[in-house]
């Protein structure tokens, strides 16, 4: 069958080549017709048939098939995002024969997670490790404090949750985000999702936690120019810490941070012109930039020579094609101290385009609002 299909495809190619040499009145029509048929047939042969051949004849299961592949702190399966098999729909699933299927076990972590611990990054992921992440994809649960913020939209009488930004988990029942994110909520309904990583799959290794936001607290001096761009999200019930869900530390006056190793990330666009969210949470390393240098850089843009950077902001980035983008608003900017503990010093706020050389992004200065945060949380 495959030989016949290939022969027919070659025949169509030869016929269309012959017609190209003839000055026939129907030349253009016939050429276009054969061109369409050839494209459809080649697509069928080289795509549909290939997918059929690559389909799983067993059952697709996440990570592993049997108990010999249990996941623990010492042995983690490795997945290459660029070379993974196409037998299953999801990149982190494997095709298992029925005789080999045994329930997958996730063993206890090497260290327990305290409910008040904060700033502990899962550098190598949890349960498995990915390679081939050349587009800035984070490891699974690498940034366990990053939450997805959503609103509920009614489309044709059907309820859908729409991504509007990100936030950070600063206590079991409270998240920190940018004030402008709240204005995107439809009818004021906001939800958060903790433990999320890959939007393209419903079978995360550990359960995703969903919470409704019962109350929002926007800074009293937030204005139309987006100064003091900070807000708190209060959940209807707390989120418990786990391997893949942890708190981020708030900045300390006495702590010193590595300003060149700061990280941020979310599910926003990878490039300003793409207009499409990424599936896997991205991780971006951006250095902090002095505010005076940042203001000078912004004055070279459409903001003009009279632009003044408000004191409620700090800046980071400026490397070409290395930046957060549309959809990442509200995400935390974190920096490590000398012990490798991460502190949130900023909130993704705004920028001029995404990833322009020499143009950093603006982040809400969390340190400036530390007392405001503590006061509001204490009153809950």
Average pLDDT rounded to a whole number, residues 347-354? 94
Average of per-residue pLDDT values in the chain: 80
Q: What is the architecture, at CATH level 2, of domain 146-246?
A: Beta Barrel (2.40)
pLDDT band of 70, cuts 50, 70, 90: very low
C-beta separation of 228 from 248 below 8 A: no
Q: What angle do CA 85, 91, 94 make, to 5 degrees?
A: 60
| 247's tokens | 């708190």
| 232's tokens | 């708190």
Q: What is the pTM of this model?
A: 0.75
Average pLDDT rounded to a whole number, residues 169-184? 95
pLDDT band of 243, cuts 50, 70, 90: very high
C-beta separation of 204 from 159 below 8 A: no
Query: Measuring CA to CA, which residue among 330, 332, 178, 345 is closest to residue 253?
Result: 345
> E strand or H helix at 291, and its extent?
helix 291-299
Query: Which of the two residues, 73 and 203, has the higher pLDDT score?
Result: 203
Helices and strands: H and E segment counts in the chain: 6, 17
C-beta separation of 189 from 149 below 8 A: no
| 52's tokens | 């059929």
**Residue 230: alpha-carbon gap to chain centroid:** 21
CA distance 133 to 312: 34
pLDDT band of 34, cuts 50, 70, 90: low
pLDDT at 10: 46
pLDDT at 38: 65
Residues contacting residue 335 through CB under 8 Å, at least 6 positions apart? 257, 258, 259, 261, 262, 263, 288, 342, 343, 345
| 351's tokens | 């920028």
pLDDT at 358: 94
Residues contacting residue 137 through CB under 8 Å, at least 6 positions apart? 81, 130, 278, 280, 281, 282, 283
Average pLDDT rounded to a whole number, residues 339-368? 94
Q: Which of 64-73, 282-291, 301-310 has the lowest mean pLDDT?
A: 64-73
| 55's tokens | 């389909």
Q: What is the architecture, at CATH level 2, of domain 263-376?
A: Beta Barrel (2.40)
C-beta separation of 274 from 327 below 8 A: no
| 60's tokens | 């697709």
Average pLDDT rounded to a whole number, residues 290-303? 96
Query: Which of the two residues, 102 and 277, has the higher pLDDT score?
Result: 277
pLDDT at 119: 96
Ramachandran category for residue 202: left, alpha or beta (phi over 0 → left; psi -120 to 50 → alpha): alpha
| 160's tokens | 């859908």
User: Do the first three CATH levels of 146-246 and 263-376 match, i.e. the same topology?
Assistant: yes
Q: In terms of DSSP H, where are the helices of 71-163?
A: none
Distance between terminal CA atoms of the chain? 70
| 314's tokens | 């700090």
pLDDT at 269: 86
Q: Which of 177-181, 188-192, 282-286, 344-348 has the lowest mean pLDDT?
A: 188-192
User: How much of the chain exceeds pLDDT 70, in percent?
Assistant: 68
Query: Measuring CA to CA, which residue among 308, 316, 258 is closest to residue 289?
Result: 316
**Eight-state DSSP code of residue 359:** -
By residue count, the chain amounts to 380
Token pair 């984070």 is at which residue?
Answer: 138
Q: Where are the domains of the chain?
A: 2-54, 56-108, 146-246, 263-376
């Amino acid at each position: 069958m495959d030989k016949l299909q290939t022969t027919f495809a070659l025949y169509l190619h030869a016929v269309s080549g012959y017609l190209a040499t003839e000055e026939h009145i129907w030349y253009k029509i016939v050429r276009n017709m054969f061109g369409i048929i050839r494209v459809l047939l080649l697509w069928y042969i080289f795509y549909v048939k290939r997918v059929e051949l690559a389909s799983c004849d067993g059952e697709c299961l996440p990570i592993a098939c049997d108990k010999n592949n249990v996941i623990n702190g010492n042995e983690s399966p490795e997945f290459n995002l660029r070379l993974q098999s196409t037998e299953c729909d999801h990149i982190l699933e494997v095709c298992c024969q029925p005789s080999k299927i045994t329930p997958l076990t996730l063993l206890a972590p090497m260290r327990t997670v305290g409910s008040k611990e904060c700033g502990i990054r899962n550098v190598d992921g949890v349960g498995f490790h990915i390679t081939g992440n050349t587009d800035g994809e984070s490891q699974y649960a690498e940034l366990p404090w990053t939450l997805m913020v959503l609103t509920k939209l009614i489309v044709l009488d059907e309820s859908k949750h729409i991504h509007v930004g990100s936030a950070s988990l600063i206590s079991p029942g409270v998240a920190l985000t940018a004030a402008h994110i709240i204005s995107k909520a439809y009818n004021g309904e906001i939800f958060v999702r903790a433990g999320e990583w890959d939007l393209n799959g419903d079978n995360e290794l550990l359960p995703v936690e969903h919470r409704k936001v019962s109350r929002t607290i926007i800074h009293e001096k937030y204005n139309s120019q987006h100064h003091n761009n900070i807000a708190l999200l209060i959940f209807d019930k707390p989120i418990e810490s786990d391997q893949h869900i942890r708190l981020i530390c708030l900045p300390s006056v006495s702590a010193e941070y590595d300003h060149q190793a700061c990280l941020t990330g979310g599910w926003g666009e990878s490039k300003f012109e793409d207009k499409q969210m990424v599936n896997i949470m991205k991780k971006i390393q951006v250095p902090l930039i002095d505010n005076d240098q940042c203001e000078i850089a912004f004055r070279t843009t459409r903001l003009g020579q009279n632009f003044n950077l408000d004191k409620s902001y700090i800046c980071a980035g400026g490397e070409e094609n290395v930046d957060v983008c549309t959809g990442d608003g509200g995400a935390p900017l974190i920096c490590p101290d000398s012990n490798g503990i991460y502190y949130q010093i900023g909130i993704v706020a705004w920028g001029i385009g995404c990833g322009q050389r020499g143009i950093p992004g603006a982040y809400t200065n969390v340190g400036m609002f530390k007392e405001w945060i503590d006061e509001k949380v204490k009153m809950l």
